[in-house]
Chain A
Amino acid sequence: MTFKPVPAAVTPDNSMGDAFITTRVDAVINWGRRNSLWPFPFGTACCAIEFMGVVSSMFDISRFGAELVRFSPRQADLIIIAGTVTYKQAPVLRRIYEQMCEPKWVISAGACATSGGFYDCYCTVPGIDEIIPVDIYIAGCPPRPEAFLEAIVQLQNKIERENRVEQKAVGA
């Protein structure tokens, strides 16, 4: 994000000076969105405990603006699926994803959410991208808290590259 102070030459009377900054609409919107992600922790298994460690003060996800965990999908814009998703849980995950409002992002945390992990059996969904679209995948079983933070940073970089102008419809 670039902040460009107004040069003195543009405002000849110099009365405004540095009071204005010019940038693109995209940059401001993306800056706002990525630094205030409100995660919905869809924690099912062990990765949820590591996510609790990320939220706690040692690793502190609030440094990245993502402190406000909201347990209602209507109020969240980032869903973090931490843990194994079984076929019994799949309609629940789908419904929660549908209830989230745009813009929304998905992080699939851990091996089980990404690919089913080492539970290659009759009840486990082999990767939640069978059910919902995923933005960032985190590997690990469970991933270290630093990996969660790296994923948040990568998601923030991804959001920074979004382009509002090309996405036409409301909700797109």
Chain B
Amino acid sequence: MTSVGGVPYHSSKNDIVDTAKPWMREAMKPGLTDEQLVSALQLFGLRRDTKDRWNLTLVLAAGDARSKLRDLVSFLRDDQSLRMNTLLDISAIDYLSYPNHRGPRFALVYLFKSLEFRHRVMIKVEVEEDDARLPSIHDLYRIADWTEREVWDQMGIVFTGHPNLKRILNHHEFVGHPLRKDYPCQKRQKLSINDPMVDQLEARLRELGYTVVESGEVHLGKPIAAKHQSAAEQGQVDRPRAKSEGAIGAGGL
């Protein structure tokens, strides 16, 4: 379970020393204008998105996405004039039923904001349907770990190098990606038993340097069926039932 780039996870206990810098308590400095931002990022070959007439959205084409995304994001974070230190969100869009859409089916909009300067930028990364993979940036922004999990869960875009690409909003027995336009809204999927999460905890222990010798027992109860069934229906021991089935106190299994 090594993370991409070899950055180890650590607990915040190691950072008790105040990492506050002077700019954090001062007023925000004026940021770059849209044109200056576009020219600062021109070596990545981004074009301005015409769909967004209100904010600055730059498009990273599908062909370049895999090779350039991590460099672009590192540049956004580390460049002294940009300092985009907050990844607000990754918004995934499925253009399947968008009228007159030409181009890749998916687009991921990475919303960046700077806390030092008053500027924001959104990077729209196009993703082809038949090759829906992107490199993970979870080592550059710690929040990307969970945000990318959510994008995978809801839209089905795989992030290579992600340590824990598991379901986060939907349950672990869910099949499919519900926010896609071809997933019917009312198609329900029942869950029989909750995720024990033992594997995730053991993975975390290993990250912290522990070696797991023996796993503990997990008591999750038995899987549930859809409708509550009485004991007799479930084939268990025949117990005397109350005259009115389903009356108060006549519950139980």
Contacts and interface: CB of A to CB of B under 8 A. Distances in A.
B185 A121 contact: yes
Contact of B248 (A123, A132, A135): A135
Contacts of B193: 91
Contacts of A150: none
A87 B249 contact: no
A95 interface: yes
A105 B246 CA distance: 11
Contacts of A46: none
Contacts of A158: 248
Interface stretch (B125-133, B208-216, B218-226): B218-226
Contacts of B190: 87, 90
B226 A91 contact: no
A56 B227 CA distance: 35
B178 interface: yes
B47 to A, nearest CB: 36
Nearest to B173: A87
Nearest to B240: A169
Interface in B234-253: 239-243, 246-253
B185 A172 contact: no
B185 A102 contact: no
Interface in A112-127: 120-124, 126
Interface in A121-147: 121-124, 126, 130-133, 135
B160 interface: no
B64 to A, nearest CB: 34
B154 to A, nearest CB: 11
Contact of B185 (A92, A120, A130): A120
Contact of B224 (A88, A122, A131): A131
B188 interface: yes
Interface of B is mostly: loop
Nearest to A132: B228
A119 B149 CA distance: 23
B228 to A, nearest CB: 6
Contacts of B184: 122
A18 interface: no
A40 to B, nearest CB: 15
B251 A104 contact: yes
B48 to A, nearest CB: 35
Interface in B120-159: none
A133 B245 CA distance: 11
Contact of A122 (B185, B220, B242, B251): B185
Interface in B171-193: 171, 178, 183-193
Contact of B239 (A97, A133, A166, A169): A169
Interface string A80-110: 0000001110111011011000111100000
Contacts of A133: 228, 246, 251
A98 B239 contact: no
A167 interface: yes
29 contacts: A86-B171, A87-B171, A88-B170, A88-B191, A90-B191, A91-B191, A91-B193, A91-B194, A91-B223, A94-B221, A94-B224, A95-B221, A98-B253, A103-B248, A104-B249, A105-B248, A120-B185, A121-B178, A122-B170, A123-B169, A123-B178, A130-B228, A131-B228, A132-B228, A132-B251, A133-B228, A162-B247, A167-B242, A169-B241
Interface of B: 169-171, 178, 183-194, 220-221, 223-224, 226-228, 239-243, 246-253
Those 5 A-B pairs whose CB atoms lie nearest each other, nearest first: A88-B171, A103-B249, A95-B221, A169-B240, A94-B224
